[in-house]
Structure 1
């Protein structure tokens, strides 16, 4: 494969190879976008290269997709969510579909080079194959693969947007694929409006912060009919983030969710991104009593979908986050407990506008009574060496009482002057400010005895908070349920700093690992007796 990749130096050469493999004869007539690429195509590759490509394709490989992924950088492809799925995952998803029923039609909403359709075509020799993609080059590659493999006569490739797809057929449809991952700020306002409208038709609400994969789940729920079924692999964010609530609701309702399999980023479910992946399976109209959850850290251990831990639908409907359900709780070793038995973990306060509420030149003259040394940057924890002891090295957050009458006359005068400045800076605007009892009162939590980071491209950092610092939402506070001695706190911080890895959290696109408070509470740590014993040594 490496030798082939060195032969192709441009996308136009790849187009020429796709045409030589018969792309024009598969999946319907070429669209204007595809024809434009064809006109610009370079010289067709030599016959020996075409023969090698055909042999690889018929052997179940995807040389065209591999070459495409080499010629077009991962950064460029990521703009359109074009991340190609490894063959073992594709096959596992197809195997699940084959164990469920025989569809009359297979739809891949983001077809790419047709990896899913190619495997599904072999499993379902009579099914119509429909692939949809917005990229003309990807569409050509899909056509070429299908033609070379002998599936041209039952293929249809649509150059367009899956959100506009509404074709229905008699009989069951299998929806399968890797919906594109694109962040919300790259999604046009008209499509955000589409999301809201289509969600409301199903009696649901949708966040404008949703990524593109959420749109594909909704489009599928909108178009599918009872007995249709499917399996999608996406980034796992929808399991936990607020904007993913609509997908979780769809899984418990219109989509008929059956299972969720989370794949650890170390298994490289998406070769171009260090991201935790989730494979969802669903059957329209199904209302299973429970949904299966499992987690794997190696593609060789992926096994069958639809296995794992059974979670009752009633419990799922009350859970705001689902990823922690994929962790099978093992009995801790003798003397060890979950961190949550020792400490409550609370995320830091959201200020709503750090530029306003973190003290600076704009807040000169405010009294010390409303200025609180605060951890406002993760590096303040990471670089502290396990002990935060000097509050003077921290910035202050302005936290004004809800009732200004609590202030003496001089302090109130200074605060009133500052509030005029804060208004001009927009401190009274925005969702967070509008939902506080008083827009000027940030409401910092009490100082946590232990503070931790929770999102980074590394394991979290932990410090004993002798500075009595507060923390905003870049950190978590650990509040012991019962008093811990200073030595026990140090032993706990030392243990957490050495023994907690990124695998214990959730990894997002780009390699960021995040620990939600409940996930952190599930970490296994020495119990009080072991902490005291360790501190005594």
Structure 2
């Protein structure tokens, strides 16, 4: 924006001001506003002059997004996280719409989470005869969207649907539909149970297996596969985690069967794929109904290198179908030097158990009356490993995890009485009705793994630390345990931990929204380490 516009927009300090501005820009002239949208518009005057409003219109007409920019200034990324609202830079939008233009001319454009309309407006300009449907669940964003549509005079082509994209219904059209946008990033903890059921049942009906742990972007890929018809095409930018994690397998299945994967372009966090979140992004291009024999994959360090998304190394359908981690296929695997191996050859890496309700299963030892046999001192916070240094030498400061046997009849009468009393408390908190508990053989049995000789953090804004577990503490899902495939001496384990602490950097993991870098177990197993012979004598 120009200096004048920046100064003018700085007077917009509240969402009420922004709603008034959207109304004055013509939001109320685009379709019929919902009651929720109307309730947001205050009966106050806009703190801008008519000349300032005219200049803002000119900025929007030239492709700017002062409304979206101001929204991001008023609300922090943390404020916008519940709705998964991230805003994409124009250069990435240009690359995606350019790819779409190479596929043909759509008769309809659908944006699944339109926000202030960045994708919608860019696509409308690229395809001037296409009708447009924008799905948006947030009434405030819908107001901004309507205002931008009004300024661009797209009243007769654009329709705003206030509601969940998964509930969207599309009328039949004669010709292809383009699906394009930035689906919201919302983790599964914030997704309602009924939508998790929708995901599982809808995937099952297509012959696929889904996970209730999937994030919202996975839901949107499935919803698109449901809405799309053969000949439709699309491009989404999302976080890249679905390429590797178990709950992203549904997207991988869809791209091989039904959604028609064409290419995937993984953007490094330094490329700033999202304007307000440091995370690894992935642009996924697809052609609905196609049965690809291969998909193009590539890794991009800079946005300027994106081009029109026609590049990439072709990876065969068979290899993709056999691989549970697609991001590694975008990397050129470095040659392992002589005397070194992948960590996975020495150790299996396992994430700790998911309790499903830490407030119940994780307690301070002196706050709970239960048999010692079911109380396991455990690492339950990453900082416990960071603060331990090279070795965790005692249980001091650690909480205990309550891990009951599947067969409660193995307990004696006194112990069973204490356990039954505890379980009545857990039931009052409806722990037995939780998703994790419902998947266990017995809802009350957490199922801790045995103590691992090496524990590792796996998600932080700093490289993971690797700690020798002299205390034989258990761990829950905030840490990974390294379990030797064959018995390793204390010296080898000590030297392995020392090497990993000094050698592993953030570059080996994947960066998520908020700048956190994560190492999935299989990623950690790909770390290159000295072989046993070298570890026996130490790494110089």
Name the TM-score class by shorter chain.
Answer: 0.7 to 0.9
Q: How does 1:37-76 map to 2 (within 5 A)?
A: 40=43, 42-43=45-46, 45-76=48-79
Given that residues 86 and 269 in structure 1 are in contact (C-alpha distance below 8 angstroms), is that contact kept between their aligned partners in structure 2? Answer: yes
Q: Hey, what's the Cα distance between the residues in 2 that align with 1:447 and 1:127?
A: 60
**Counterparts of 1:196 and 1:324 in 2: how far apart (Å)?**
27
What is residue 119 of structure 1 aligned with on the other side? 122
Which range is displaced more, 31-40 or 486-495? 31-40
How many pairs align?
A: 530
For residues 485 and 504 of structure 1, the distance between their equivalents in structure 2, rounded to whole angstroms, comes to 27
In structure 1, C-alpha distance between the alignment counterparts of 2:93 and 2:250, rounded to whole Å: 25
- Counterparts in 2 of 1:76-475, with a 5 A limit? 76-149=79-152, 151-162=154-165, 163-188=167-192, 191-192=195-196, 194-195=198-199, 198-199=202-203, 201-204=205-208, 206-305=210-309, 307-350=311-354, 355-356=360-361, 360-361=365-366, 366=371, 373-391=377-395, 394-395=398-399, 412=412, 415-426=415-426, 429=432, 444-475=448-479
CA distance in 2, matches of 1:363, 1:51: 66
Alpha-carbon distance in structure 1 between the residues aligned to 2:362 and 2:149? 58
Looking at structure 1, the residues matched to 74 and 80 of structure 2 have their Cα atoms a distance apart, in angstroms, of: 10
Deviation sequence 1:171-230 (CA, Å, 0-9, x none)? 011010112233445445554555455445534565454443333223222221110011
Cα gap change, 1:489 to 1:243, in 2 (>3 Å)? closer
Structure 1, unpaired ranges of 5+? none
Aligned-partner SS, 1:295: strand
Deviations 1:278-306 (A, max 9, x none): 32221111110122333334434444435
In 2: Cα distance, 1:189 partner to 1:451 partner: 33
Query: What is the distance in 2 between the residues matched to 1:348 and 1:435?
Result: 16
Closer, same or farther: CA 418–455 of 1 in aligned 2, 3 Å: farther
Higher mean displacement: 7-16 or 278-287: 7-16
Q: Is the 8 A contact 1:139 1:159 kept in 2?
A: yes
Post-superposition offset of 1:352: 5.7
Q: Is the 8 A contact 2:12 2:47 kept in 1?
A: no
Q: Shift of the alpha carbon at 1:15?
A: 4.3
Cα distance per residue 1:134-169 (max 9 Å; x no partner): 334433433433444454543333334332332331
TM-score by length of 1: 0.84
Q: Secondary structure at the match of 1:220?
A: helix
Residues 360-417 of structure 1: per-residue CA shift (max 9 Å, x gap): 357757466x665543432332111111233566455566777899x8xxx8566545
4 and 524 in structure 1: CA distance in 2 versus 1, 3 angstrom threshold: farther
TM-aligned CA deviation for residue 517 of structure 1: 0.9
Structure 2: unaligned runs, 5 residues or longer: none
Q: Does 1:8 align with 2:12?
A: yes
In 2 relative to 1, CA 298–135 (structure 1 residues): closer, same or farther, beyond 3 Å? Answer: same
C-alpha contact 1:258 1:306 (8 A) present in aligned 2? no
User: For residues 367 and 149 of structure 1, do their structure 2 counterparts lie closer, same or farther at Cα, with a shift above 3 Å needed?
Assistant: closer
CA distance in 2, matches of 1:11, 1:353: 36
Query: Shift in Å at residue 97 of structure 1?
Result: 1.1
C-alpha contact 1:506 1:515 (8 A) present in aligned 2: yes
Provide the alpha-carbon RMSD of the alignment: 3.7
TM-score (norm 2): 0.83
Instruction: Describe the shift of the 1:307–1:45 C-alpha distance in structure 2 as closer, same or farther (beyond 3 A).
Output: same
In 2, Cα distance between equivalents of 1:272 and 1:207: 28
CA contact (8 A) 2:458 2:479 kept: yes
